[in-house]
Structure 1
């Protein structure tokens, strides 16, 4: 390249660099003060409006702590948070925009609520902080109602805490809702920022298309109820990568909401969620590390999650069908899961993998969970793997390839162990109830394949409710190939594999097998 060509390239780069900052709107130029007492909502919104009216650009938040209520981004802009910049949630609920929701009364939006925007982003090394310390009583724990524990093994002693608040969750006061919302938006990006101390869901995408979240730190507070990490409802074409998410409630949520359930202002154009990729994330939650599906549900499909770590969670991966719609074409690859029992009113009972399809609403036709695959998964948990379908919605075509499960002892077995948690279902007896715990329990599953499944037990386990290695009942077309494992140390004489009420079983294992009312059984080498 000659000198003239090099000079041309340099000048072009300088022009592009300078142009990218030509449209910068510093919130301080519109009256924002980082004095620890000024509420800067109006000043921030003025900077945003000026950016929008001038064709877009960058809204710049310099270093400093800026107290704010609810503001709204608009199309063609980047909210840039400088290193050391903090948008700090006001402690006063009146500084947040309010709305009335049927059956819920008066509510408040969080810090940032963006609707009908395109080409919008939040970036930089700064922070959005929801100031949740003022919206909770951190000296009190929210407990499960005694009526909700009457079918558990421990009855009123279920999840009993000797002193203090245990694992929470702490008790909420009146509080803002979702801290950051994007609704009916296209081409949305979040990069590198920190989202901290949310009083409710932290980051919510509703009815959006083309969403990218990369490199963020999201710590909502591990003791805080309802403080989900990222909730994706009825969105298409979503990528979440290289994030550190630590939340009290579910770290990642993917649902396809039926929009009568949504808050005012949500148009509900898409209904389903599809084409979702998650990779290279660290997740922690006192509920589910990853949750897919639930109530008021439409279809979620084409979800691919890989190279993630789920640690110290009440439940690792949870797929829940309680309503109409389907949950389908879902893969998990190269994931490490570590789960524990936790006290308090958290959902989940230590299962590394939980898939359930039970009725949650009357007068709807139940959907189906189908085509789910787990590849190269390592599980360490204080409860077994649970696949729990129902006679009206059997789980279909689930494949475990190269999966290991280590079931370890827990100091909380006395107050929590030996139960199944299906909360969110319609019938009270199915919500929290006493059960034997095999290493893997499959109930109403058609087309289950276990290929290279390894099960190990902590030798100190002595609770009698830990039973077989694998139990499968009410099934069709079961295949178990290259299984290595035993029954529980507390029940060594039980058959390792227990099959009941099914048809079509192909087993390639030297483990002991018990069959009860099974048609079409074949044992292969």
Structure 2
């Protein structure tokens, strides 16, 4: 019986393999000279593959210039070793149904894939003013510690971002699709978001290498918008903007691929990835209308970045049920107009959209975290909302000295928000700062300083406006410039427990202490 079943399965697989067809783009007129614009030839191969019932569109070794192409159901775009698909430098070549888009635009498709061992190059440099850098406006600096001298560092080259010209939008987008796979390819030099899945149910991104310029703004590595059931693993991502941007947008600045997305984002797993970013290694949330829940992140390295992990609510969308485990984070202060100021972890609920009920963040768990940074962990909620059930367990944080401390240190940067007072503003830097949290648990948190001389580096832990707080097994002290201060400051809270000795804690109107 088992033998008969095996033979039947084998026959089915043979039939499927035999029915799948290969369509080489050269056979449809594509030229491998690196000059000819092959949009029509590549699209003809895709259309023929789809019409035949599906198969693989093969790109052989060589350089193929193209404008926008669109994949369809049951089509695999397969890049042979040595192949290069490169976007043109002409903005007019990026068009789908009379609308400007990016290099690969796919919508309403199922069982669609990009795979192989070649490279897709977005030609991003062609759409940048590479000798001109964005700067923060004077108004944007007015509440910072350094005022208009914030991040003004004589003789130091800018970390970017450069100024973009008009450019293509998302380089590779799948919108309203099911069962999307992107595997093993290299993607480079994106002018905008690199991989974008919008309203996708079921997807795998694995073994992908994203090599973007660290100077280009908005060249996010992987964006997942209102998507569910997505697994990302074994990817190397380097770029100027967010490594991962996972959001619940229903719409966003009229970008292509957003068609009144109504689904919540659920069940996303990210593992075994390496990330370098001038913005955030991992960013969750923004101006979200749809909820985001049930995410897991594990075995991730975030290095040479501005911010490590960011969770942010600015609209009605809620963030809940997320685990971050076995993650190494290395962040530093940067020059230029990048959001954030070196935080290894930043969690914030602040209004960014008028006239909506602000969402909440709840059930967020960090464990086995190693962080080397030039700033502290920041958790911040306005009085309009709250952060509920947040855990930091088994965390090691070393705050290293920075040559930029005098030029940009001693500030929180929670941009973008509606109130400029909470955008980029002067603030002392504890090892961990939390405001507006209910049910905060800090266990086995080890903090080290690196001889900082600036007096805005203060306590080991500072918690304000809290309810139900636990601090157990904290190993650390106040910063070198404030060694006489108790290591922990608690204010305007209630219902807290600790196993710390009383001399390590400064208490300001915090009743209901339990030991």
Moved over 4 A (4+): 11-18
1:161-201 deviation digits (Å, cap 9, x = unpaired): 32464211111111101000000000000010011000000
Q: Which residue of 2 aligns with 1:19?
A: 18
Q: Does 1:136 align with 2:110?
A: no
Q: CA deviation at 1:297?
A: 3.2
Aligned counterparts of 2:285 and 2:254: Cα–Cα separation in 1: 15
Residues 80-479 of structure 1: pairs in structure 2 closer than 5 A = 80-97=78-95, 108-163=100-155, 165-259=157-251, 261-264=253-256, 266-458=258-450, 460-479=451-470
Indicate how the Cα distance of structure 1 residues 507 and 69 shifts in structure 2: closer, same or farther if over 3 A, else same: same
Tell me if structure 2 keeps the 8 A contact 1:235–1:270.
Answer: no
Conserved? CA contact 1:484–1:509, under 8 Å? no
Give how far 1:436 is off: 0.6
- The answer to whether the Cα contact below 8 Å between 1:255 and 1:297 also exists between their aligned partners in 2 is no
Partners of 1:137 and 1:230 lie apart in 2 by 24
Counterpart of 1:57 in structure 2 is 55
1: CA distance between counterparts of 2:192 and 2:215? 12
How far the C-alpha of 1:223 sits from its partner, in A, is: 1.0
Structure 1 stretch displaced more, 161-170 or 270-279: 161-170
What is the deviation of 1:19?
A: 2.3
Whole-angstrom distance in 2 between the partners of 1:18 and 1:394:
54
Give the direction of change, closer, same or farther, for the CA distance of 1:261–1:132 in structure 2 (3 Å limit): closer
CA displacement, residues 217-261 of structure 1 (integer Å, 9 cap, x when unaligned) = 011211110100100000010100000011100000111112375
Unpaired stretches in structure 1, ≥5 consecutive residues: 101-106
Q: Is the 8 A contact 1:304 1:331 kept in 2?
A: yes
Aligned counterpart in structure 1 of residue 490 of structure 2, from 499, 504, 510: 499
Q: TM-score, normalised by structure 2?
A: 0.96
* CA contact 1:316–1:353 (8 Å) conserved in 2: yes
- Residue 401 of structure 2 aligns to a residue whose secondary structure is coil
- Out of 45, 54, 57, the residue aligned to residue 43 of structure 2 is 45
Give yes or no for contact 1:466–1:488 (8 Å, CA) kept in 2. Answer: yes
- More displaced, 132-141 or 273-282? 132-141
Contact 2:198/2:226 (CA < 8 Å) preserved in 1?
yes
Q: Shift of the alpha carbon at 1:429?
A: 1.2
For the residue of structure 2 that corresponds to 1:309, the secondary structure is strand
Question: Normalising to structure 1: TM-score of the pair?
Answer: 0.94
Task: Give how far 1:15 is off.
Answer: 4.4
Kindly tell me the number of residue pairs found equivalent between the two proteins: 511
User: Secondary structure at the residue paired with 1:329?
Assistant: strand
CA 162–425 in structure 1, closer or farther in 2 if over 3 Å, else same: same
- Check the 8 A contact 2:111/2:180 in 1, yes or no: yes
- Distance in 1 separating the partners of 2:14 and 2:391: 54
Quick one: distance in 2 between partners of 1:260 and 1:400? 32
- Give 2:69's aligned residue: 71
Q: Alpha carbons of 1:383 and 1:199: their partners in 2 closer, same or farther (altered >3 Å)? A: same
1:480 is aligned to 471
Unpaired segments ≥5 residues, structure 2:
none
CA contact (8 A) 1:207 1:268 kept: no
How far does residue 361 in structure 1 lie from its aligned partner after superposition? 1.3
Alpha-carbon distance in structure 1 between the residues aligned to 2:428 and 2:17 = 66
The alignment's C-alpha RMSD in Å is 2.0
